[in-house]
């Protein structure tokens, strides 16, 4: 599919995080330390929208079972919890981000 423009750096910087849909794929964009990152907006645990979760210091916390995901790498920092049991949680899918003239593109 190639590069797709999804927003501008200013808009994302102001919002902190944004949810966009590219084709059929929901993508979560996050702004952290002057960089833009993109991961799937489907939680790798049970597909909840990560956008609905809290976002702080480059880490998104899933609203469902509180898995914590590093938006830079998609790596799990804290596994999902069902009751008090931590369950294995796969890494989130990441997307390549390109910035051109303050516009944000992702590779899909």
Task: Work out whether 80 is an interface residue with ligand FES (CB under 6 A).
Answer: yes
For ligand FES, which residue of 27, 45, 51, 74 counts as binding (CB under 6 A)? 45
d(CA 74, CA 35): 15
Span of 4-12, 28-36, 42-50, 98-106 interacting with ligand FES by CB under 6 A: 42-50
Question: Collapsing DSSP states into helix, strand and coil, what is residue 26?
Answer: strand
Task: Work out whether 67 is an interface residue with ligand FES (CB under 6 A).
Answer: yes
Which residues touch 22 (CB under 8 Å, ≥6 apart)?
1, 4, 6, 106, 108
Q: Which residues bind ligand FES (CB under 6 A)?
A: 43, 45-46, 48, 62, 64-65, 67, 80
């Amino acid at each position: 599919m190639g590069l797709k423009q999804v927003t501008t750096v200013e808009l994302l910087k102001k919002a902190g995080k944004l949810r966009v849909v590219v084709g059929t794929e929901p993508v979560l964009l996050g702004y952290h330390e002057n960089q833009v990152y993109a991961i799937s907006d489907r939680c790798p645990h049970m597909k909840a929208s990560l956008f609905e979760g809290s976002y702080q210091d480059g880490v998104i916390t899933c609203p469902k079972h509180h898995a914590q995901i590093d938006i830079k790498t998609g790596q799990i920092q804290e596994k999902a919890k069902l009751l008090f049991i931590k369950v294995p949680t796969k890494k989130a899918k990441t997307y390549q981000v390109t910035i051109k003239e303050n516009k944000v593109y992702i590779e899909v």
